[in-house]
Chain A
Amino acid sequence: MSRPELIAPPEIYYGDTEAKKYTNNTRIQQIQAEMTYRALELLNLPPDEPAFLLDIGCGSGLSGEILDEEGYLWAGVDIAPSMLEVALEREVEGDLFLHDIGQGFGFRPGSFDGAISISVLQWLLNAETSHPTSSPPHRLNRFFTTLHAALRNPARAVLQFYPTSDDQVQLITQIAQRAGFGGGVVVDYPNSKKARKVFLVLYVGDGGAAQVPRGLENEEPNEAEGRVKFEKRREREKRREKSGKTKVRDRDWILKKKDLYRRRGKEDVPHDSKYTGRKRKAVF
């Protein structure tokens, strides 16, 4: 798995080209959409009640579009200006902020009914400078304490992220708990390499009575579900036919190849006869 957070800080990694690439990639769109729906499910907001949500690391608005569709009002923060520019172009409904979540939020207490964050927290785990305020624990602490304040009581925050190790998960949950959150980690498809997703489900209030929901288990979702075996091969062949290339096995092609081999001086080229490239009967 590639780890963009190890290459450069987010505001530099997601420059103009990378932001466009990220947003237009249909596979990323699909994964982001799936995770957003799952995060909303875990958020467990009361149905038919309009809510005001915070999208942490909203990026180009892939998750925000889904929040729009589902009828939520939202505000989004992200640190990459290029991503926000793409979000503006896509005309998402939410308010956007250029904001470093590691510096903490300035929202008034009790502003939001819930918060979601898709594939963001891992970006907080690298120190960019040696200044004490840029150490991961300090930034995580700022993030979680101000997030806790900005949420209503009771409310939930669901944060999906890609940890590299169990130590990272432990560090993050520990700091979140110290900030006053209840809850814990939900792992979907824990036995799958590809479909495994880690969600941090945090509660404000509820007195710890609420149980952390269970992760999805069983079979991982099969993308090619409902497709017949070998369908891919058939598709490939169909494409080849369309592109004008003929099938390989016909007499002219064989003769041409043999001629070519002879001219190149290859030995043991079988000689031509009326049987060359002959179609065989279906024998049974």
Chain B
Amino acid sequence: MRGLEFKGLQSVEGPIIILERRENVGYGELARIRDRSGVVKVGRILEVSDSAVAVQVFGPTTGLSTEETSVEFLGKSLELRVSVDMLGRIYDGLGRPIDGYPEPFSSEFRDINGIPINPSARAYPQDFIQTGVSSIDGMNTLIRGQKLPIFSGSGLPHNRLAAQIIRQARLKTEESFVMVFAAMGVKYDVARFFIQTFEESGVLSNVVMFLSLADAPSIERLITPRCALTAAEYLAYEKNMHVLVVLTDMTNYCEALREISSIRGEIPSRKGYPGYLYSDLASLYERAGKVKTSTGSITQIPILTMPNDDISHPIPDLTGYITEGQIVLERELFQKGIYPPVAGLPSLSRLMKDGIGPGMTREDHKDLASQLFAAYSRTKQVRNLAAIIGEEELSTLDKNYLTFGDRFEREFLSQSETENRSIEQTLDLGWKVLTHLPREELYRIKEDLIEKYLPKTPIGR
């Protein structure tokens, strides 16, 4: 009960404490725990029964004694104080300011769990976002209101790519974005890198940051993305802003979830992750989108590192089932020195079909992208063949494909971190690399488009 502290616990096990049940304890609500030296921690009620309450503590439980600890039940679930003044501020993983300033002046609170968006209240996302990155704009277009994760591996430049997207993302209408950035279990230097990026591009005052770094208690990571998305929802759906949310690194979030699940003694499913990993991830990712009652939007770019570069690992696998596509980074391209190393074939944007074409990007975009995919896929086959029989033995057409693949990677995919290409530049580049193929190989493009856009002075032939 609010204002009353109860002394004494029954047991402490890792981040979970169990105490005798008191009146008025609601499932999922918040508890405040004071240890023997008076330090206060926050916890959430996991289970209530007639005789006992289980509380999950967000913070270290080191030094918690069963007799000297007191608990207060707050009678509400975890809430975030929201205000437009959150922009430009830095919070910890539980939503408390850590930049030395007091909380923004506001009496509005929002439950960090949000409420599920009614599917019939959603507006279908179809506005093209220009990221200035050819591999994304041309091949895996990002749409406003989409959730498009970056699947990466350790050592790959996912943070640099995310930073570049943040710096360059523009809408055709020139409306601008505000950013919500959540770091879960990443090292300080990574957080520092993002802060610096925001500073350098002068957007720091448009960013809300939630940092739960690697040394913070792992359980805090379960709260961090929810705080971030609550802030994003407030800005988007109540203040009509366009919000770009970057969540990094979702793998750490899932690890924390597994840790808690195993402490609670739940039956594991694949690789020890709890059976509800899918639903839990969905409760985060599905908070992206647009609703009919507001003009704002939430675009999500979660970043995750695939353990051992394995895309079938439960974390990327379940993420891929929920998100609307994925940008996959490939180690082989990275080793060739290509930045950004966006893998051509496994990357996909599901919402692309509705956001490109005449009036949105350019009339040739759909056909061109489809042709580039098809040709690059053929290139991959030819490369495998060449590895076995040697390049000399290949037919002329196959050799054309090799040249095309090479140009595609070096000219189209590859660009510098500061290069901001317009969509027209990206598409023109696409046509340019296609000149390395004979014209009759362009079977996925309509005749009139070839006539109009294929460079007349053949570059490749």
Q: Do A and B bind each other?
A: no
B-binding residues in A (CB < 8 A): none
A-binding residues in B (CB < 8 A): none
